[in-house]
A and B are shown apart, each in its own frame.
Chain A
Amino acid sequence: MNALILLIPAQSGGQVQQIAETFGVDWPHLVAQIISFCIVCFLLHRFAYKPVLQILAQRRQLIAEDVANREKIKAELEQAETERRRIMLEADAKATKVIEEAHAAAARLLEHETQKAVSVAEQVIAKAKEAALLEHDRMLAELKREIGILVIEATASITRKMLTADDQRRMAEETINSLARAA
């Protein structure tokens, strides 16, 4: 500004001087204020703005790193989610396979146990039939024996009453004749 003022032509120097005086400009005072202002600006720039800017730059870098990390984490999360879904699908498939195998094994076991139970039941029935037949035979034999005893006792009683002396003689003759034939 001072240089601009010095460059004003001499014929117009008077007007500038006049305007400056009109606005109350005190050149030494103005220069001193300008120097003071420059010093203040330098000091502010040196000890205030620069650290603040450094801090802001660090913050910006941190924010950028955070953003980058967030993106990375997001990607990793997506990858992890994808992996989780894949694992879940595999687990689901394996679980389904295991359940199907368990169902098949249960069906086989049920079939085996059913066949075993049927076999045991058949054996029990066969034994029961055999026991029933044996019991039936035993009862028949017992009945036959009882009937035989009754028949023999009745025959003996009746024969004892009905045999006459001639019958006794005739029977004795039969045995004597058989002895004679043996001789």
Chain B
Amino acid sequence: MPATASHVRRAAKRLFRWCVVNDRLQEERARAVMQEILKSKRRGFITLLSEFKRLLTIEVAKHTARIDSAVLLEIDQQTRIKDGLERAYGEGIDSQFSQNPDLIGGIRIQISSDVYDGTVRARLVALGASFGIRSA
């Protein structure tokens, strides 16, 4: 079991690559890796587990889209959003829809670091910025 931080990072990256097949994270492999790390209980296994978890979190965030809307979206709208996300970011995007009345109107889509914000709240925030208000 590696001991130094760089060794831990390299090992975690190797294990993570083994879990990714055809640019898709294999959840079974990831679970198996984590169970093996926990079973081993060698020196530095907690650090290795933390690094592996961090890589998994980044990968999951890349393929997870959060869609917030002021009112519940219709089925065809949800379908069109999923299609649009898969066309833009590839297959296997996990879309999570939620209702947030604070947005007042419109929808907000966030995937990884990309944001598509057409909400009234976002426009009010922009208007507040012009008045010198940091958050509306």
Contacts and interface: CB of A to CB of B under 8 A. Distances in A.
Interface stretch (A26-34, A76-84, A107-115, A165-173): A165-173
B109 to A, nearest CB: 6
Interface residues of B, number: 32
B33 interface: no
A179 B85 contact: yes
Interface string A149-183: 10110011001100101011101111110111011
B88 interface: yes
Contacts, number: 93
Interface of chain A: mostly helix, strand, loop or mixed? helix
24 contacts: A141-B132, A148-B128, A148-B131, A148-B133, A149-B131, A151-B131, A156-B121, A163-B120, A169-B74, A169-B77, A171-B107, A172-B73, A172-B77, A172-B106, A174-B118, A175-B108, A176-B80, A178-B116, A179-B84, A179-B88, A179-B116, A180-B87, A183-B87, A183-B88
Interface of A: 141, 144-145, 147-149, 151-152, 155-156, 159-160, 163, 165, 167-169, 171-176, 178-180, 182-183
Interface of B: 69-71, 73-74, 77, 80-81, 84-85, 87-88, 104-109, 116-121, 124, 127-128, 130-133, 136
